[in-house]
């Protein structure tokens, strides 16, 4: 196995590509993070409501080089629940199809969430002290 193939093998569970058409039908997927074969041919909008909110963004994508990026999404992809970065772009060979690139960033964003949580709680405590009043939050 050459290094490129080895890299693909080692990192395949960290990213997934899904192909949808402009009507929202899920055309295909590489299934490397989650197996979506059961919903191929069905409405991606029905299974992933988040995509409904991206319809306007899809309409604004005109060339394959344009990307619609949606970072830090807490999401369930099939059985896999975690934090993901999403990137949407037009298929370079078919402008009627949208490529949905999903990167699993659960490890790093879980750590970030813990840090953010501690920071937020400290800020609230500080504000309560400043205001001279504690609440049973």
Partner 1 sequence: MDSSKWISKKIALLGSHAVGKTSLISQFVEQKFPESYLTTIGLKVDKKSVEVDDYTVDMVIWDIAGQDNLAQIPHYYINGCSGIIYVIDITRPSTFEDLGAKIEMIKGMAKDAEIIVTANKKDLLSAEELEATLANIEPRPQFATSAKFGENVEELFHSLAENMIKSHESQGA
Residue 55 binds to partner 1 (criterion: CB under 8 A): yes
Residue 100 binds to partner 1 (criterion: CB under 8 A): no
Checking 100-107 for CB contacts under 8 A at 24+ apart, the result is 100/17, 100/18, 100/19, 100/20, 100/51, 101/15, 101/16, 101/17, 102/15, 102/16, 102/17, 102/18, 102/33, 102/77, 103/14, 103/15, 104/13, 104/14, 104/15, 104/16, 104/33, 104/80, 105/72, 106/82
Among 15, 17, 70, 101, binds partner 1 (CB under 8 A): 70
Among 11, 13, 92, 127, binds partner 1 (CB under 8 A): 127
Least Å from the CB of residue 18 to partner 1: 16
Binding residues for partner 1, total number by CB under 8 A: 32
Residues 8-47 that bind partner 1 (CB under 8 A): none
For residue 135, CA distances in Å to 59, 84, 116, 129 come to 47, 35, 21, 10
Contact segment (CB under 8 A) with partner 1 among 5-13, 18-26, 70-78, 95-103 equals 70-78
Residue 63 binds to partner 1 (criterion: CB under 8 A): no
Site of interaction with partner 1 (CB under 8 A): 49-50, 52-57, 68-75, 83, 109, 112-113, 116-117, 120-121, 123-124, 127, 131, 133, 135-137
């Amino acid at each position: 196995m050459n290094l490129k193939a080895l890299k693909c093998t080692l990192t395949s569970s960290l990213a997934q590509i899904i192909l949808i058409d402009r009507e929202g039908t899920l055309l295909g997927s590489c299934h490397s993070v989650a197996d979506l074969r059961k919903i191929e041919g069905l409405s991606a909008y029905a299974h992933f409501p988040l995509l409904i909110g991206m319809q306007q963004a899809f309409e604004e994508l005109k060339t394959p080089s344009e990307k619609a990026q949606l970072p830090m999404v807490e999401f369930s992809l099939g059985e896999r629940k975690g934090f993901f970065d999403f990137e949407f772009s037009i298929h370079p060979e078919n402008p009627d199809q949208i490529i949905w690139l999903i990167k699993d960033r659960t490890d790093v964003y879980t750590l970030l969430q813990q840090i953010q949580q501690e920071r937020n709680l400290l800020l609230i405590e500080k504000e309560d002290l400043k205001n001279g009043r504690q609440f049973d939050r």
